[in-house]
Amino acid sequence: MIYQTINKIGVLMLGVSILISCHGLEDLNDNPNKIGSENVDPNLLVGTLISGTAKNVVGLGFGDMAGVMQHTQKDGWSSGHNAYDWNNRSHSWNGYYSLLTNNKTLIEKAETDNLEFHIGVGLVMKAYLFGMITDLWGDAPYSEALRGDEGPEYFDAAFDDQRDIYLGILSDLGRANTLLSKNQGDYFSIQQDQDVLYGGDVSKWRKFANSLALRYYMRLSEKEPGIAEEGIRRIASNSGQYPLILNTEDDAALSYVGNTSSDSWPTNTVLDESPSGSYFRIKMAKTLVDALQELDDPRLGVWANKVGVPLVLAEGEPEDTDEVRDGERYVGQKLVDDHLDLLGVPVDFDKEYVGLPTAIAFGPAYNLKEDASQGIYNPHVSQLNDIYKAASGPLLKARLLSAAEVHFILAEAALKGWVSGDPEGHYNEGVKQSLETWGVGDDYNDYIAGAAYGGLEDIIEQKWIASWTAATEAWFDYRRTGLPDLQTGPSSKRDALPLRFYYHIDEIDNNSANAEAAIQKLETTPYKGEDVSNNSAWSKMWLLQGTGKPY
């Protein structure tokens, strides 16, 4: 479970030195009592690494990335979420490098003690974290990162090319697969309670390693198709050598504990009782609601509540009609017209589910809400399902990688002719695994009849839907494919979806030469707008340059 081991290791981890990539660490005094690879039990690092990574995954995938990919929208304090109003102070990678520092200690200690399981876990987590960094920012410190304790020459770490980081990630995952290929009984010093992801199950970590490699080979498919095809063919054609996550029980997913604010689902109303708290601000986006309704998707009812008070147009009645009858609010045409004039979007009269449109002005007043205060209950828009009020629950998990994602990757690879089998079979299995994940697997046969496979657009749409609460991966697919065909809203910072995070001002100020060199390699797009340098959320990193995607 997430943060299950925090109480056991929190004090210990305060002693771990933070060797992030940026400049300035030469001013730190050497601490002879610090925790390092020579005096720490690697088991005590495993839990905090997994939990910290999981928190970042949910923070993005249920946070700003859910806004970008139009899974959710906020009707209060919404600019970064709905409108991508980011800048060079919005997103820092320091937390990722802090986790990677601890991970480095884990690997070093495990190598000293010849603990192959722990080395394998460390390599998987290293790949996952560096993958997130380069996916989100582009070029980044990699080969010289985390080496500040070796001397001043590493205080200002060079930024590695994004291509080299991806290849390094895939190399580490290949080594992890080998290290984790023995029988469970061949490993020692595993503490099951410290492995909050898989309870020390070596075979599941091996599946995680290979499934993550599959993700990154597909990530490279537009830029390095030869490398991508070779890697995907090799993995997909030899299940004995490269086992994968193919069923939900093997998903890399962590449950929340729910004891404190730090180990509880972020929208819970147990520890946050404010009527303008996160739960009341976050609504399902109209884009996703409409897509799910068109497909008669049973996941909609798992993720959202029906509207509290449906709206009804009072046809043939006075234009200023506004009254509640039998639990429904009847409104006249004048109110409807005024709403369109003010917000630029029409009233939604759906009696079941209503999503919040993308980046609209005056979101708190949407759908004729009478009290237009920010972030309070709107009876005419669907709230998140009540499960998201809880601090923990069977469906409240940080989802690092799923069986559904693996099957959708295989479906796309089959469509490209890179793996054997019909893409429809992999597509169908991806849908089935996602439905199983959300407790509606019994609806599969009826659902797939109305969501039949038709090509790449269907694969990516279903993968986008399946990434609910983990929307960052959908963002990476959008950048690579241009799918789904999402449109910005009237209040969006630019007329296109963003492509990356800005390099943070701290890195630019403290590691100037290396940061500026990386910024110069970014390729601007017509949506750069008022950004004063190539360091724009609408600039293309190496992965996107020359692909024509997504724009």
Whose tokens are 């979806």? That residue is: 497
Token code pair at residue 8? 């056991």
Neighbours of 305 (CB within 10 A): 17
Of 117, 102, 107, nearest to 35 by C-alpha is 102
Question: Phi-psi bin for 532: left (phi > 0), alpha (psi -120 to 50), beta?
Answer: alpha
- Say if residues 536 and 521 touch (Cβ distance below 8 Å): no
Rounded to whole angstroms, the Cα distance separating 377 from 373 reads 9
Rounded to whole angstroms, the Cα distance separating 450 from 89 reads 45
Rounded to whole angstroms, the Cα distance separating 471 from 460 reads 12
In sequence order, the 6+-apart residues with CB closer than 8 A to the CB of 355 are 73, 283, 284, 285, 286, 287, 288, 289, 290, 304, 348, 381, 382
Using a cut of 0.85, tell me whether the model's pTM lies above it: yes
Domain coordinates in residue numbering, the chain: 6-74+92-263, 278-389, 403-468
> Do the bridges between strand 159-160 and strand 328-331 make them parallel or antiparallel, or are there none, so unpaired?
unpaired
As a three-state string, the secondary structure of 452-487 is CCCCHHHHHHHHHHHCCCCCHHHHHHHHHHCCCCCC
Token code pair at residue 364? 């708190």
Rounded to whole angstroms, the Cα distance separating 263 from 54 reads 11
Of 406, 427, 61, nearest to 207 by C-alpha is 406
Query: Sheet harboring 328-331: ordered strands across?
Result: 311-313, 328-331, 322-325
Level-2 CATH architecture, domain 6-74+92-263 = Alpha Horseshoe (1.25)
Rounded to whole angstroms, the Cα distance separating 364 from 137 reads 32
Token code pair at residue 475? 């963002």
Longest dimension (CA), the chain: 82
Q: How far apart are the first and last CA of the chain?
A: 40
Q: Where are the alpha helices (DSSP H) in 85-240?
A: 94-112, 116-137, 162-179, 202-219, 225-236
In this predicted structure, what is the pLDDT of residue 155?
Answer: 84
Mean pLDDT, each 10-residue run in order, the chain (551 residues): 44 35 36 51 95 98 98 96 98 98 97 97 98 98 92 89 98 98 97 97 99 98 98 98 98 97 97 93 98 98 98 97 98 98 97 98 96 92 98 98 98 97 97 98 98 98 98 98 98 98 97 98 97 98 98 98
In this predicted structure, what is the pLDDT of residue 6?
Answer: 40
Of 331, 381, 328, nearest to 357 by C-alpha is 381
Q: What does the chain come to in residues?
A: 551
> Beta-strand (E) ranges in 355-414?
397-401
